[in-house]
Copies of this chain bind each other. A is one copy, B any other.
Amino acid sequence: MRYYIKMNDDIIIWLERLSALHKSQIRKSAAIEGVQLVHLEILQYLSICNKYSNTAQGISEYLGQTKSSISQSLKFIEKVGHIKREPNSNDKRSYQIFLTKDGKECIKRMNESSTPDLSEVGDIVGNIKTILYKWQEQNDLKGFGQCKSCYFNKILEKGGFQCGLTQEPLSETDIQQICREYKFK
């Protein structure tokens, strides 16, 4: 007995292939860099997340792995020299994690070797975002997203932006990054 594949299922097939391919690519880069898959996934996350999201807990939520697992991975990539930690001034239990020069170079090599060149962009991004938000929403997951499309992000009259949650000012660069506290508007 075969499966009857519905229209909507087509999307899933391609999404799953996309994910498998992505994972496969990262794994390849990891082998070249002499680290494990998860280590590069962490570095990649750190390269795009904002200052409210670069914690062990944030990584755990993003990657869907337990804190304990992430904790061990962080220990390793810190020893190797890809990241450095700095105590969080607001919360003594917590610390922020940053990529070192070494870690940034590592991610740069990875991106160069595995990023598709998509010249004619069109509304691909919009479509992907649609999929993503629906998926996150329906599964009651932490909704990571870019500040620039976040409910809390305010555009200031005098120029620049402000986060409605923390009241902190945000730069043009800041709002490109993704945040743990993202809320769909």
Residues of A within 8 A of B (CB): 2-5, 7-8, 10-25, 27-28, 41, 44-45, 47-48, 62-65, 111, 113-118, 121-125, 127-132, 134-136, 138-139, 141, 144, 146, 171, 173-174, 176-178
Contacts and interface: CB of A to CB of B under 8 A. Distances in A.
Contacts of A129: 14
A17 B18 CA distance: 12
8 contacts: A3-B173, A4-B173, A12-B111, A17-B144, A21-B135, A117-B138, A124-B130, A124-B131
Contact of A2 (B132, B173, B178): B173
Given A19-B19, A114-B135, 7 more contacts: A5-B48, A21-B141, A24-B63, A25-B64, A113-B139, A117-B138, A118-B134
A71 B177 CA distance: 40
A28 B174 CA distance: 31
A116 B128 contact: no
A11 B124 contact: yes
B134 A116 contact: yes
A8 B141 contact: no
A8 B121 contact: yes
A117 B130 CA distance: 11
A42 B172 CA distance: 42
A64 B20 contact: yes
Given A16-B44, A47-B3, A27 B64 contact: yes
Nearest to A114: B139
Contacts of A48: 5, 13, 16
Given A62-B20, A139-B25, A11 B41 contact: no
